[in-house]
Amino acid sequence: RIIYVNGRYLPYHDAKVHVEDRGFQLADAVYEVIEVSDNSLVDATRHLTRLWRSLSELSISPPMSEPALCHVMGQTIRRNRVRNGLVYLQVSRGESPRDFLFPDPPVPPTLVCLARATIPAQVDQRAETGIHIITMPETRWKRCDIKTVMLLPACLAKQQAHAQSASEAWFVDAEGLITEGASSNAWIVDRSGRLLTRPLDNTILPGITRRTVMDTAASLGLVVEESPFTVAEALDAAEAFITSATNTVMPVIMIDGQRISSGTPGPLCRQLRRSFARVAE
Ligand code: PDD
């Protein structure tokens, strides 16, 4: 595999970042995961817009222009012959002796781009069955709208889910409302067929797939309400699902060991997954 690091396409084992990179020492870095479908990046413009916003919230200068970054992504995909899979982009504030304060003058940001193949049939197979999730108290910080690499709470949550034979964890805030998954947005379909997902604010990541699913739902004439829901409402829902770049729409059939409705992927969820309109670029 070939990985892009700061201007160079390197063999896998040479793709290294310095130990005093602020991404490594301080999680002072942001990232994006973009799906590659049939050789094309899915929703690339929305992902780059979000990356630019994350960078701006942390006052990190963009490492290059958007077209230049698209070129790097395209090259990385081609050099790795990825037809279906994902691109991972990470930008850190750069390499500088450890200090909480930003380096002054600023140092060049570190940019990493890698592409990995996935097997779409495996994801489709998981979607046929549906996944199990657990819920747990929210442990993350108050700026979950920024896509930073500060992912330890998400790792701990996923590990706990795995230990309970589940594949995702939904965080629950102090009011008992679900925020989002460790690496996905959370959705339910209520008993009157309305799709519910939490409104955007600092407590969740503005998911690109969430946005695209809202558009898809509108085109299918489905009602989407951006309103938060409780664990009890999720357990009582007609359907539940998660959205993320790597899963698109993934049905949830069990929450905290309790079956959702009949315990099989629901009809609206299946319809949304089928119709999920990829904006390939
Ligand atoms: N995760 N919420 C969180 C906390 C996420 O980490 C992600 C994505 C999402 C869904 O966002 P999108 O639809 O833009 O992928 C929501 C990526 C896939 C990851 O960390 O691997």
Averaged pLDDT, 27-47: 96
**What number does the ligand 1 atom closest to the CA of 88 have?**
21
10 Å CB burial of residue 236 (0-12, 13-18, 19+) is middle
Would you state the pLDDT for residue 278?
A: 64
Would you state the pLDDT for residue 280?
A: 58
Would you state the pLDDT for residue 155?
A: 98
Q: How far is the CA of 204 from the centre of ligand 1 (A)?
A: 10
Query: Considering only CA atoms, which of 208, 205, 183 is closest in space to residue 44?
Result: 208
Pocket test for ligand 1, best of 173, 184, 187 (most atoms within 8 A of CB): 184
Would you state the pLDDT for residue 183?
A: 98
Q: How far is the CA of 154 from the centre of ligand 1 (A)?
A: 11
Q: Helices in the chain by DSSP H: which ranges?
A: 22-26, 44-57, 66-79, 120-129, 152-163, 208-219, 231-235, 267-275
The answer on pLDDT for 244 being more than 90 is yes
Q: How far is the CA of 104 from the centre of ligand 1 (A)?
A: 32
Q: Tell me the pLDDT of the chain averaged across its residues.
A: 97
Q: Answer yes or no: 142 catalytic.
A: no
| Interface predicted TM-score (ipTM) | 0.99
Averaged pLDDT, 249-270: 97
Q: Are strands 248-255 and 131-137 parallel, antiparallel or unpaired?
A: parallel
The answer on pLDDT for 279 being more than 80 is no
The answer on pLDDT for 85 being more than 80 is yes
Pocket test for ligand 1, best of 146, 183, 214, 247 (most atoms within 8 A of CB): 183
C-alpha to C-alpha distance for 77 and 115, rounded to whole angstroms: 6
Structural domains of the chain ordered from first start: 2-118 (3.30.470.10), 123-275 (3.20.10.10)
Averaged pLDDT, 106-133: 97
Query: Considering only CA atoms, which of 182, 206, 210 is closest in space to residue 196?
Result: 210
Phi and psi at residue 225, in whole multiples of 5°? -120, 120
Q: Atom 11 in ligand 1: which residue has the minimum CA distance?
A: 207
The answer on pLDDT for 281 being more than 60 is no
In this prediction, residue 221 has a pLDDT band, given cuts at 50, 70 and 90, of very high
Would you state the pLDDT for residue 122?
A: 95
Averaged pLDDT, 168-193: 98
Q: What percent of the chain has pLDDT over 90?
A: 98
Would you state the pLDDT for residue 276?
A: 84
| Model confidence pLDDT, tens digit, residues 126-137 | 999 999 999 999
Cβ-count burial 160-196 (b if 16+ within 10 Å, e if not): ebeeeebbbbbbbeeeebbbbbbbbbbbbbbeeeebb
> Would you give the end-to-end CA distance of the chain in angstroms?
23
Q: Are strands 40-41 and 29-37 parallel, antiparallel or unpaired?
A: antiparallel
| Tokens matching residue 192 | 């009157």
Q: Atom 8 in ligand 1: which residue has the minimum CA distance?
A: 183
Q: How far is the CA of 88 from the centre of ligand 1 (A)?
A: 12
Averaged pLDDT, 251-259: 98
Q: Residues with Cβ < 8 Å from 165, sequence gap 6 or more?
A: 132
Instruction: Answer yes or no: are the C-beta atoms of 200 and 165 closer than 8 Å.
Output: no
Q: Residues with Cβ < 8 Å from 183, sequence gap 6 or more?
A: 154, 158, 168, 244, 246
